[in-house]
Amino acid sequence: MPNYELKGNLKMADVADPEVESRPQRFPKNIMITGANRGIGFGLVKHFLEYDGIELLIATCRNPEKADELNALKNDRRLHVIALNVDDDESIKKVFDEVSSLVSSNGLNMLINNAGILLPYEVDGPKICRKTMMKQLETNSVSVAILTQIFLPLIKTAASAAEGDEASIDRASIINISSTMASIEMNNGCFDGPMTAYRMSKSALNAFARQSFMELSKYHILVTSFCPGWVRTDMGGDNADLDVNESTKTLSANILRLDNRNNGLYFDRFLHPIPN
């Protein structure tokens, strides 16, 4: 794991909001999560399976045969584990067909774009590598956009099944797992590490999320981005503030509290807005 250091104050209110916690939770019939074999994705799978109102959970990852912890959860018949390479359009299309069969006429209620990578890169570094920069941007932003486009017909189907003009989490949603590092306003050099390419990729992801909100609001599809916090994962490193369970327990609970007031915005796991 990398060992990044926090050098300053992120100025985030790292506490629960009673107003948020008082909101009712709503349960989508089905959820699909990318990058679900470890870290934030795996934590979300575990916690969403605690809610009986969720009828189907599709967990994707590159190599399911190596995802021992994820496969151990398959005693819950609601969980389906599917191989997906988010950087391969043919893989995405194949998974689209599998998911279409699973969700049938219900469509896909929630897509969580979680799969991502962190490739160290810095402006003030000895190495110039266009390939590294492009790979970081491809996986964390371009692949999210392509996957969302391909799965959009299923999300539209779910959205059209409900009446009224309100976007809600139990109707149809696209949730993007971003990072506080995506925030240009909050980039005060607080993290000590080669984060140039990663920050760029997550800022691009947030830009895609905002544009998706602008284009998809007419279908009553809810779109948000979340920072799960600084978490002890392969990306976050050993020095991070939170363990995966602590982060994803709060994040999963508050995702289920999203409604039309949150559409198009960018939040921490407590549903505090984050500036772009």
The verdict on residue 207 lying in a domain is yes
Answer whether 170's CB lies under 8 Å from 263's CB: no
Per-run averaged pLDDT (10 residues), the chain, 276 residues: 48 74 95 96 97 98 97 97 98 98 97 96 91 98 98 98 94 95 74 84 96 97 91 70 88 96 94 90
Q: What is the DSSP letter of 233?
A: S
Residue 275's pLDDT is 87
Helix (H, G, I), strand (E, B) or coil at 173: strand
For position 33, which CATH number holds?
3.40.50.720
The verdict on residue 4 lying in a domain is: no
Q: How many CB atoms are closer than 10 A to CB 10?
A: 19
> What is the structure's pLDDT at 241?
76
Residue 275 maps to a domain: no
What is the tally of structural domains in the chain?
A: 1
- Domain range enclosing 56: 18-267
Tell me the C-alpha distance between 117 and 200, whole Å.
Answer: 12
Instruction: Write down the pLDDT at residue 276.
Output: 81
pLDDT score recorded for residue 116: 96
